[in-house]
Amino acid sequence: MGSTIVMFIFPKRFVFMCVQRPHSSLRSEDLPWEEIRSVGRQVSDENWISSFKLLRNLQNDTTRRLRYNGDMRISDTKMYERFVAGDPEWNGKFFTGVLTTGIYCLPSCKARKPKRENVRFFPTCEAARSAGLRACKKCHPDDFARGADPLLETIEALVAEVRSHPASFKDARAIVHRSGFGVTRAFELFRQHFHTTPADLLLRARIEATKRQLLSSEAPLTTIAYDAGFESHSTFHENFRRFTGLTPAAFRTLDGATSFTIALPENYPLAYLRRAFSRDIHSVTERLVGNTYTAAVQLPGCRLVLYSAT
């Protein structure tokens, strides 16, 4: 006799039951309503059941074993297929145990794929550990299960260190070495999580460090440059002006200045800038008249009017 998987829809929860009757002959009175009511009371306080849907008819077939996994059932064949494909979309839906190595992994694990006969599937990390397996150190399934990302945490900590102490890193190679990853992997993680490269991150961190020092101290420019990790005054001056549009000396005077001049890069799209400044001709807070842009802004503790001439 065939069997039918029935899905009952409760508020914020799906419950699956297997009824030993073919789909074609299944009637409402054949359903285990007492058991359904009991489950309904456990998962919901109101409107314990709204509807049910016949999902599919399953013939008795020992080669198509089903396993419970969260809110769904997946065949072993399907899970192994997704595991071999390294599909990250299936992470968390099941965990793969490898008997020959004694570890359990995420479906997306990049480790070498084992043979089918050496694989077992588990709905949770706890179930895998109960079977005597340990977590994979490559894909970190336990971290994924608790919502953590160890790779992101590692990169975030490294980025914070670079930004706070840029002089501690001689160059981009030092950052890659500090990360513990290979060059390709390190660059991939920086692009993925911070949309930058180690070299660009380090340069920007050095510029930010010099900006803070210029406004908070009277130290000589050369000392500030060396303290931030720049190897020469000319390199510091060139990069500082490229990032800020000001020389270090001019930037230092901003603390009490009422005006300043920014040098725009060569071939800067001034036409685009003018269109952006004049996008709202009826604005009461900003306007462009000729080559002069005026904007009213409010900063903490003060209100002021900015004038920009191009």
Q: What CATH number corresponds to the domain at position 199?
A: 1.10.10.60
167-192 tens-digit pLDDT: 999 999 999 999 988 999 899 989 98
> Following DSSP, what letter does each residue of 69-113 receive, concatenated?
ETTEEEEHHHHHHHHHHT-GGGBTTBEEEETTTTEEE-TT--SPP
Pair (40, 90) in one structural domain: no
Which two structure tokens, joined as six digits, stand for 218? 């009277």
Nearest to 23, CA basis, from 57, 53, 63, 71: 57
Among 140, 220, 150, residue whose Cα is nearest residue 179: 150
Bin 299: left if φ > 0, else alpha if -120 < ψ < 50, else beta.
beta
What does the buried/exposed string (b/e) look like for 186-200 if buried means 16 or more CB atoms within 10 Å of the residue's CB?
Answer: bbebbeeeeeeebee
- Number of helical H runs and strand E runs in the chain: 12, 12
Q: How far apart are CA 297 and CA 92, in angstroms?
A: 48
Q: Is residue 261 part of a domain?
A: no
Q: Give the C-alpha separation, 115 to 112, whole Å.
A: 10
Domain boundary among 234, 256, 278: 256
Last residue of a domain, one of 113, 145, 177: 145
Q: Contact, 75 vs 66, CB < 8 A?
A: yes
Same domain, 229 and 141: no
Q: Is residue 193 part of a domain?
A: yes
pLDDT string in tens for the chain (310-residue length): 555 555 555 444 555 556 565 655 556 566 666 666 665 555 444 333 333 333 333 333 323 333 344 444 678 888 899 899 988 888 888 999 999 999 999 998 888 899 999 999 998 899 999 989 999 988 889 888 887 777 788 899 999 999 999 999 999 999 999 998 899 989 998 998 899 999 999 999 999 999 999 999 999 999 999 999 999 999 999 999 999 888 999 999 888 777 778 777 788 888 888 888 888 888 888 888 888 888 887 777 776 666 666 6
Q: Is residue 262 part of a domain?
A: no
Residue pointed to by tokens 């009461």: 284
Task: Return the pLDDT at 71.
Answer: 41
pLDDT, tens digit, 9 for 90 and up, residues 150-167: 778 889 999 999 999 999
Rg (CA), the chain: 31
Position 263 in a domain: no
Q: How far apart are CA 163 and CA 256, in angstroms?
A: 26
**Looking at the structure, do residues 166 and 245 belong to the same domain, yes or no?**
yes
Provide the number of structural domains found in the chain: 4
What pLDDT shows up at residue 20? 61
Residue 302 belongs to what domain range? 270-309
Final residue belonging to a domain, choices 60, 78, 109? 60
Is 47 found in the same domain as 22?
yes
Beta strands in the chain (DSSP E): 3-10, 13-19, 51-58, 66-69, 72-75, 95-98, 103-105, 119-122, 134-135, 286-289, 292-299, 302-309
Q: How far apart are alpha carbons 151 and 186 in whole angstroms?
A: 10
Assess if residue 16 is contained within a domain: yes
Q: What is the pLDDT of residue 169?
A: 95
Whether 264 is in a domain gets the answer no
C-beta of residue 121 within 8 angstroms of C-beta of residue 82: no
Distance CA 194, CA 155 (A): 9
Please check whether residues 88 and 168 belong to one and the same domain: no
| Same domain, yes or no: 172 and 249 | yes
Q: Are 238 and 154 contained in the same domain?
A: yes
128 and 206 share one domain: no
